[in-house]
Amino acid sequence: MPKLKGLTQFIFQWSLSGILLLLTACSDHDASQQVTERLESNRLHLAMLQPPRSGLNPFSDDAFKLSRWSTAETLIKLNPEGEPQPFLATEWTQIDPLTWRFTLREGVQFHNGETLNSEQVVTALTAATQAIPRPRILDGFTLRVRAEGPHQVIVKTQVPDPLLPNRLSSPQLAILASEAYTNTKHVSPVGTGTGPFELTRIEGTRSAHLDRFDGYWGTPAKLAGIDADFVPDGTARAAALRTGDADLVEAIPVSQAALIDDELIHEVPMPRTNTLYLNTRKPPFDNPALRAAAREAIERAQIIKTVYENRADIAEGLLGPALPWAATLRQPIQYPIAEKPAPGTQITLATFTDRAELPEVAVLVAQQLTEAGFTVTQDIREYANIESDALAGRFDAFILSRATVLDSGDPVAYMKSDFSCSGSFNIAQLCDPKVDQALEKAALIPTGSGRKEAIMEAEAAILSTDAAIPMLHERVIQGEQAYLKEAIRDPRERRLINQNTQFVDAKDSL
In the chain the domains, ranked by start, together with CATH numbers, are 72-181 (3.90.76.10), 270-475 (3.10.105.10)
Q: Where are the beta strands (DSSP E) in 257-352?
A: 265-278, 312-314, 346-352
Q: What is the CA radius of gyration of the chain?
A: 25
Query: Residue 265, SS3?
Result: strand
pLDDT of 407 over the 90 cut: no
Rounded Cα–Cα distance for residues 443 and 163 (Å): 8
pLDDT of 113 over the 60 cut: yes
Give pLDDT tens digits for 198-228: 999 999 999 999 999 999 999 999 999 999 9
pLDDT number for residue 13: 42
pLDDT-derived band at 143, boundaries 50, 70, 90:
very high
Contacts 24+ apart (CB under 8 A), 201-210: 202/52, 202/55, 202/56, 205/51, 205/52, 205/230, 205/384, 206/51, 206/230, 208/52, 208/56, 208/65, 208/69, 210/69, 210/71
Rounded to whole angstroms, what are the CA distances from 318 to 321, 361, 432, 466, 470? Answer: 10, 18, 17, 12, 6
Contact 62, 49 (CB under 8 A): no
- Residue 50's contacts (CB-CB under 8 Å, 6 or more residues apart) are 230, 232, 354, 383
Q: Helical H runs in 78-178?
A: 118-130, 164-167
pLDDT of 3 over the 70 cut: no
Number of H helices, E strands in the chain: 15, 19
Q: Which helix (H) or strand (E) holds 206?
A: none
Contact 68, 494 (CB under 8 A): yes
Give pLDDT tens digits for 429-469: 999 999 999 999 998 888 778 999 999 999 999 999 999 99
Shortest CA distance to 120 belongs to which of 147, 86, 91, 142? 147
Rounded to whole angstroms, what are the CA distances from 103 to 32, 109, 195, 412, 432? Answer: 49, 16, 19, 26, 40
Contact 47, 229 (CB under 8 A): yes
pLDDT number for residue 192: 97
Pairing of strands 265-278, 89-96: unpaired
Rounded to whole angstroms, what are the CA distances from 256 to 88, 239, 356? Answer: 40, 9, 10
Rounded Cα–Cα distance for residues 391 and 381 (Å): 15
pLDDT number for residue 274: 97
The pLDDT of 253-276, averaged and rounded, is 91
Query: Residue 280, SS3?
Result: coil
Rounded Cα–Cα distance for residues 97 and 56 (Å): 34
Range in 91-105, 125-139, 481-495 with the lowest mean pLDDT: 125-139
pLDDT number for residue 324: 83
pLDDT number for residue 449: 85
Query: Residue 365, SS3?
Result: helix
pLDDT-derived band at 161, boundaries 50, 70, 90:
confident
pLDDT-derived band at 269, boundaries 50, 70, 90:
confident
pLDDT number for residue 370: 98
pLDDT number for residue 5: 40
Shortest CA distance to 328 belongs to which of 163, 491, 466, 455? 455
Give pLDDT tens digits for 311-345: 899 999 999 988 888 999 999 999 999 999 999 99
Question: How crowded is residue 4: how many other Cβ atoms within 10 Å of its Cβ?
Answer: 12
pLDDT of 82 over the 80 cut: no
Q: Which residues pair with 208 in a beta bridge?
A: 202, 228
pLDDT number for residue 22: 43
Rounded Cα–Cα distance for residues 191 and 76 (Å): 21
Rounded to whole angstroms, what are the CA distances from 99 to 94, 165, 197? Answer: 6, 12, 33
Give pLDDT tens digits for 8-40: 443 334 343 344 344 444 455 566 777 888 888
Q: Which helix (H) or strand (E) holds 184?
A: none
Rounded Cα–Cα distance for residues 202 and 467 (Å): 39
Give pLDDT tens digits for 367-403: 999 999 999 999 999 999 999 999 999 999 999 999 8
Question: How crowded is residue 217: how many other Cβ atoms within 10 Å of its Cβ?
Answer: 16
The pLDDT of 264-277, averaged and rounded, is 93
- Residue 280's contacts (CB-CB under 8 Å, 6 or more residues apart) are 286, 291, 428, 429, 430, 465, 467
Work out the angle at residue 468's Cα, subtended by the Cα atoms of residues 463 and 474, and round it to the nearest 5 degrees.
Answer: 105
